[in-house]
Structure 1
Amino acid sequence: MILRRINWLEEHNSNLSIRKEGMNSFLWLTSAQVFRISALLVSTILLSRMIPKEDFGIFAMSATLINFINIFRDAGMSNSIIQAKIVKESQVSTIFWLNIAISLSLSSGVLILSFPIAHFYNQPNLIPLISVLAIGIFASGAAVQHDALLRRAMMYRTVSVLDIISTGAAGICAILIAQNGGGWWALVAQKVIQILIYTAFVWMACDWRPRFLWSWQDSRVIANFGAQISIFNFVNYFSRNGDNILIGSYWGPALLGVYAKSYETLLGPLIQIANPLANTLLPILSRLTTDPERYRATLLFPYKAAILCTLPAGMMMLCLPEATVYLIFGSGWEEAVPVLQWLGIAVATQIAGSASGTAFISQKRGRDYIITGLFCSVISILSFCLGLPFGIGSVAMVYSLMYVLVQQPFIFWMVGREGPVTSRDMFSLLGLPFICSLFSVPSLLAVRAYVTEPESLTTFFVGCLTSVFVQTLVLLAIPSGRNIMRVACHSFMYRKAR
């Protein structure tokens, strides 16, 4: 499966148009993420009808530990490898063996921590569940360096194909296990199998092999910047997982299962879009830091397009949550309605927040990145605590409002303090989505007023068509909207021609 032999350590695509190469990479990753999101949505629709809510909650409890451990999996060094113009063999081999040592240590740590975590939640089933997930931690650590080299070489077509294969195979296995009464083991298998398949294929696609070299002197710069990213991830962990920890300990596995699955259904796809977009842009932006105009255009345009693509889903969740819950989860998941409704408000701002992270990393502003993460984590934990006594819907409500009104302005202000992107540039990401929402929300509320069964599939599909149609009309009526649609169509035709 080795596609072509190249020098993985040299700078690639230096003579190509950065804009065209970047857009082609983005389109490949977008295609893969569309498949990935669709596959995850189909598996969610099927698994939520086969597995009790309590099992989803137990799996979410284990995820709080796994997500924490994953912070330190590659110590943030993969981003440094991707951005570097030239890397040495001694650097790459040293970082690889360091990743292996870290992954092995983390896997062992997970096995030890499974016992106190099970005691904290009073769920003995967490011990075998977490122990199996530890296998995935070690396997993913073995894939980090090869994945980074593929992305550094901008071989996103290969990365996309591997992602599609591993996601599809893992989803099929999970459904088969759940169909035979596997319960939460199906969710564990889906996670671990996806990692194992991707790791195996990424080693086949990238024929670089580590040597028994160790040079801390050569690798120190990469490790130092990676450490700053890891510190941010550590701080940001409590913002991303504090709600699950608090809900699991306060309300138990059933409501945690509803909340975690609702969060994953809405904001999970946003992460699936934002992460590949950031991975595509980082090696490009790192070469444009001395060209402010091109840097701004390269950063802002893809994120504007991504926000507009996800906005109809957010409007649907906000205005017609009952129909969405019925389609995805089926009956018995009514507690998810207010969670999805309030999280729908945060759809556009979440991707805009990802743009801020891309700006910090590409400009190597690790200190500002950490300060921003610390502030957001404090505000998030405060919002979780304020909403917790009143139910999971209140947790989602307070978090969404605090994110939009407090965290997002602070994030944009921090980005604009220095560098080629101003705070005004960052706020411009939300301009078109705000205008579109002014027309989409009344249209969807009109649909809601005229339907007799708000939870029906007919309501869902009518709402989707209405949201997309209204947003398209608004974009066509605004010059900047027409420009985004024109460039997107041109880029699609460019990829098709290639």
Structure 2
Amino acid sequence: MSSEGSPPGAPESRDTASGPSDPRDAYFDVSALRRDMGRRIGNASILILGISMMKMVMLFAGIMITARLIPPSEYGIFALAMPTVAVALSLSNFGLPQAIVQRRHVTHIDATTLFWMNLAFAVLAALALAGCATLAGRIFDEPRVIPVYRVIAVSVVFAAVVGQYGAMMRRRLRIPQFEILILLGEAAGLAVAIVTALMGWSYWALVAQQIAAQAATMLLAVIITGWLPSGPHRARPRQVLDALSFGGYVAGQGILNKLIQYSGTAIAGAQLGPAATGLYTRAVRLGNLPPLRIMQPLSGTFVPALSRLQDDPEAMQKMFVRLISRANLILQPVAVIIAAGADPLVAILLGPTWMEAAPLLFWMSILTLRASANQGLRYAVLASGQSKPLFFNSLFRLALISLVVYVASDYGLEAMTAAYMLTELLITLPVAMLLAVRYTPITFNCILRASLGGMVFTVAVAAALIVFVNPWLSDLPALVHLAGLGVLTGLIFALRIALSPEMRQDVLGVLRRVAARLPGGGRAPE
């Protein structure tokens, strides 16, 4: 590793306020990446989807093991801490890493400045999280949550550093490499969770998992990039004032989105108790796992690619449709399986003590159904530098969903979940479409081509399987039931692809790229 923050092979140089005179600035120069952008993004997205599949397999295995070692009431203790942890994670970087991806020009001094500012925000956020411990114990009437808050705060600092290095790698379109680092870090965290759960640590095994995963990923990122910041005395805050403005809205939006995501958890904890919180949180995690493991990694290609094309509306529209359509090839069939196979999924992944989560998981399939459109629109607005409208949209979502979830909680856990999901599908998604059309080159026609038609088809397939197929399969073993739904879903979507020339061409292109990466396959066609 080169000293004083140089990437491998970069010569040493004094830091200066003027970026171009520092040879280390070459590490952040992405001017050459616009050439062959389509091929680069295509290859990266294929690798990312493959890595995401590996992550999902690993996480499903982890869920199957930990769910049998940690019952709902114990898992609920850990779940009660997650809303505040999520907010602290958003506060910890103040949106600054995203500025590294979105800005056209970044220097070593810019990155150094953002690193130390990022770290300062992270330490403050971790201290704030630990300071909330006693208050959280009183709100939830659960003293066991107090030490959880204080210990898990350490993970916030590690996560902030991971975010900085991840932004640097995404800027250089080294997204697959970063996703591999995350995979390895999560594998380390899962190993820690399983070992400590077997030792009887209960919910503390989940706390240890959170800390170990972030720490391992941070160390790997530092080693792989070879980049270290200059000392904090070299920072030049005035050079990144625009990043503070942009990042402030990104951070605010991130905080609001986390509050939205965990509003149900917090309300369930306050209104319905730890056991209900555990059921709800497990269902949310299962329903959100496919979009999280597919759309979040793909954001590493979405945002840099769309950012590089923000001055070319036609190219940006084509790239948007291409990226969303590719994500839908996986997400829409998965949404069908989650909706139609909620019962066998819970039986297989969580076990019989968690079967009350099955109707919740059915409604959570909407998270996967809307994921590509919702997240893709968000990434397009972000890539266009319009973080302020996203912030106010998230503020609107938080107010609306918190009200809906709170009112619906009086009618039980399933009613609360259904109200939340239907609000996201029928109200907040159309608002996101209007926002993207207003602030980006994306048009309604782009959105229709990329996602809406497929969403209608997906709902129809799920409804048909639930009404006509599940009655025949429900008495079979859960694994056979789920396998039958999987085969039918695969055949239906394969037929849809075969009948659509545009989708068929895209799938064949993906397969050619995959084949080209196999031994002896040669280079993928451009």
> Under a length normalisation based on structure 1, what TM-score does the superposition of the two structures give?
0.95
Q: Which residue of 2 aligns with 1:234?
A: 255
**Inter-CA distance 487–159: structure 2 relative to 1 (3 Å threshold):** same
Q: Distance in 1 between matches of 2:516 and 2:125?
A: 44
Q: Distance in 1 between matches of 2:340 and 2:33?
A: 47
The one-letter amino acid paired with 2:240 is S
Q: Which residue of 1 aligns with 2:39?
A: 20
The one-letter amino acid paired with 1:277 is L
Distance apart, 1:494 and its partner CA? 4.1
**Inter-CA distance 176–12: structure 2 relative to 1 (3 Å threshold):** farther
Distance apart, 1:40 and its partner CA? 0.9
The one-letter amino acid paired with 2:137 is A
Aligned pair partner of 2:489 in 463, 467, 489: 467
**Inter-CA distance 191–77: structure 2 relative to 1 (3 Å threshold):** same
The one-letter amino acid paired with 2:203 is W
Deviates more, 1:418-427 or 1:38-47: 418-427
Q: Distance in 2 between matches of 1:121 and 1:409?
A: 35
Q: Which residue of 2 aligns with 1:319?
A: 340
Distance apart, 1:493 and its partner CA? 2.9
Deviates more, 1:74-83 or 1:308-317: 308-317
The one-letter amino acid paired with 1:52 is P
Q: Which residue of 2 aligns with 1:278?
A: 299
Aligned pair partner of 1:332 in 307, 331, 353: 353
**Inter-CA distance 234–345: structure 2 relative to 1 (3 Å threshold):** closer
Q: Which residue of 2 aligns with 1:140?
A: 159
**Inter-CA distance 326–5: structure 2 relative to 1 (3 Å threshold):** farther
Cα RMSD over matched residues? 1.9
Partner SS for 2:143: coil
Q: Given that residues 90 and 255 in structure 2 are in contact (C-alpha distance below 8 angstroms), is that contact kept between their aligned partners in structure 1?
A: yes
Q: Deviations over 1:283-329 (max 9, x none)?
A: 12111112112101112222222123122222122223211110111
Q: Which residue of 1 aligns with 2:199?
A: 180
Unaligned runs of 5+ in 1: none
Distance apart, 1:375 and its partner CA? 2.0
Q: Distance in 1 between matches of 2:216 and 2:116?
A: 21
Q: Distance in 2 between matches of 1:18 and 1:403?
A: 33
Deviates more, 1:248-257 or 1:449-458: 449-458
Deviates more, 1:190-199 or 1:157-166: 157-166
Following superposition, which runs of at least 4 residues in structure 1 exceed 6 angstroms of deviation? none
Q: Which residue of 1 aligns with 2:81?
A: 62
Distance apart, 1:341 and its partner CA? 1.0
The one-letter amino acid paired with 1:488 is V
Q: Deviations over 1:321-370 (max 9, x none)?
A: 21111011110212111101112234221221101110111011122212
Q: Given that residues 323 and 454 in structure 1 are in contact (C-alpha distance below 8 angstroms), is that contact kept between their aligned partners in structure 2?
A: no
Q: Given that residues 316 and 444 in structure 1 are in contact (C-alpha distance below 8 angstroms), is that contact kept between their aligned partners in structure 2?
A: no
Q: Which residue of 1 aligns with 2:365?
A: 344
The one-letter amino acid paired with 2:401 is S
Residues paired across the two proteins, number: 498
Unaligned runs of 5+ in 2: 11-25
Q: Deviations over 1:26-54 (max 9, x none)?
A: 22222222111111110001111111101
**Inter-CA distance 436–241: structure 2 relative to 1 (3 Å threshold):** closer
Aligned pair partner of 2:508 in 472, 479, 486: 486
Q: Distance in 2 between matches of 1:406 and 1:40?
A: 31
Partner SS for 1:124: coil
Q: Which residue of 2 aligns with 1:297?
A: 318
Q: Which residue of 1 aligns with 2:98?
A: 79
Q: Which residue of 2 aligns with 1:380?
A: 401
Q: Which residue of 1 aligns with 2:70?
A: 51
1:171 partnered with 2:190: yes
Q: Distance in 1 between matches of 2:405 and 2:52?
A: 30
**Inter-CA distance 455–69: structure 2 relative to 1 (3 Å threshold):** farther
Q: Given that residues 143 and 199 in structure 1 are in contact (C-alpha distance below 8 angstroms), is that contact kept between their aligned partners in structure 2?
A: yes
Q: Distance in 2 between matches of 1:385 and 1:421?
A: 34
Q: Which residue of 2 aligns with 1:361?
A: 382
Partner SS for 2:97: helix
Q: Which residue of 1 aligns with 2:471?
A: 449
